[in-house]
Structure 1
């Protein structure tokens, strides 16, 4: 039996898939997404980017697999200064050069966006946390503050069950089966919250993006790889770091976050006591991230 039935129920969002009067009914009008730009990078991969805010510091945000700018923006809602969001290769309007790809390639994307905007702080989410890990392992002095949210992999391969879930999502997107895509994404939500209007609105946003932009086939190869072959180079990263994990999240195991925090000399680890923190403790999460990134020392 499916976790979700599509179309969703009337009190949970759209009745049909696609634009128009079936938009999520959250009690207020849905705001249009801000206009992004596609920029050239020194390594020849054009990447989609959005810059909001003014002043300093500048913080770059790196999204998770099959995610993007729209999903990542809320993490920076209370962060001061300029905020830079972008789409990794194979996501959104960014290029999808011939693969296979590695975390080194993703780190190159992240580094290019950070350099082009003068970012001095960085946050990585899941896949983005892996890219950020690789970047600072190779360039330990690049940033002066770091946030790793739900790191999924460090130096050990992912379990077969996780690889299967990622493969199922890729297959669902490739098939164009909207209900199958909804099922594949549903593992991110706590069971008690599935079917709520907030989850349906978020689900609709993710599906809109995936069905519009697709999912590059070469992204699947990343599930077979590690972010870094050895954590030892992370010992040279002296910037303050915040590592955040959630108990019970098998896509982002707590031991990965613990090993990452242990390898970083100036890291603080915070583990929420249940998965789905963006639904269950959103205010605390945003406050924790902004307090850390807004610090001036």
Structure 2
């Protein structure tokens, strides 16, 4: 029998334990360490399950407090901070073995029309069909196979790996900032659930954002461990995470063992749909 290809939605599936209490499992992002993007996305799912369906998540602010494990469930505890006429606020604590490993605040809004609208122009980059796919077969590390559900194509090389010329030398303003641009999408059709697409984008954002701060230091001797410290996202306009999105990233600062990365997601039509900022710890071994 052929093994069923997993659905991306399965990665965000949670069990309802009690009112405002949910439980899930995460796959590896590093050996025996839960992938932070999945933890954050599952926390979003937990928050969204306690909110009226006419509200759309527009922002999240999360802190990675301890590494999560992949061999034990994670319990998500939701606090109902506020239910207003236009905005709803939730706080989520992800707990494993009695300790909080991730804390997140999320805000939801009832959609409304507005006359005020502007956005940054999307960068001019090659189309995704002209670029090499990042993921190949993952035979040596089967625990990473969930990542095969994601299609990533870099306009400047393979994100987070050595390239010729170096990715850090990607064209851009001479302002000293490392940059990388990648096209990303979930490589299967997702259900028409706005919350699922928002959570999927958080998962996608954690795949390359941290490596942007590391680009100038890849040639230095020794091993550099990258640990996510916090993660924030803003969702500006509706989108689908199973359509191609251009993730334009840069890193304006690194100091004191911390690196800051930021990125913007654009549709193929140039519409800015979301923004992300992440600070990571850079630890040389």
TM-score (norm 2): 0.26
Higher share in helix? 1
Q: Which TM-score applies when normalising by structure 1?
A: 0.26
Compare the two structures and name the one with the higher strand fraction: 2
